Amino acid sequence: MILGCITKFIPETNETQNLLVIEGLITDQPETYTIKISWSTPVGINSGIRPLEGCKVTVQDDLGNNYMFTESAAAGLYISDKETFRGVIGRKYTLHINTNNSTETHYSYESKQVEMKNVPPIDSLFYEKITIKEQTPYSGPEEGCQVYLDTFDPLGNCRYYRWDFLETWEFQLPYMVTNQYAGFQALRLILT
């Protein structure tokens, strides 16, 4: 028989119990952008996401254009109109949020102005086969691939990058069937 003891550790922090959490991404691609707004959860409490509804969300560019994000059916999720808004490289953007929510504390938030910079080209893209999980007496090793990307910005304008890629797999079955090839796709993210 194996016995174990688990002691719950909750660090002492000076954090405010209700911090405004804002998640979003704007690119120069023609798509609908989303901004998710919620309240933070105190350390040690597993209460799930607490979305914030009823906010006024706008993005303003350095030319004075304002783009309204509308609240979707999902609580705390605000979406842009892909027909009227898309980021432009070289422009600067500011996010404005007004909570306007009578049941919570009223907040008015304005981000710093951020320039959308051009991403330098990819120099090389390669992978290495790796072991994700070592072999145990009860199971074999789990193997996978680690994808690497090299790039360089000679002007030194970009310090942080994000690339998305679409992974395509093809399985070839070892026996004859009507359709011998099966494939699927999965969206993966690399944050650097």
Segment 105-162, tens digit of pLDDT: 677 899 999 999 888 888 999 989 999 888 888 888 888 888 888 888 888 877 777 7
Encoded tokens for 31: 């798509």
Of 188, 111, 98, nearest to 147 by C-alpha is 188
The mean pLDDT value for 162-188 works out to 64
pLDDT reported for residue 179 = 60
Kindly state the helix (H) or strand (E) to which residue 94 belongs, with its residue range: strand 92-98
Cβ pair 183, 166 in contact under 8 A:
no
The mean pLDDT value for 167-191 works out to 58
Segment 64-109, tens digit of pLDDT: 999 999 999 999 999 999 999 999 999 999 999 998 765 556 778 9
Q: What domains appear along the chain, each with residue ranges and CATH number?
A: 20-115 (2.60.40), 122-191 (no CATH)
The mean pLDDT value for 30-34 works out to 94
Whether residue 190 is predicted with pLDDT greater than 60 in this model: the reply is no
- pTM (2 d.p.): 0.69
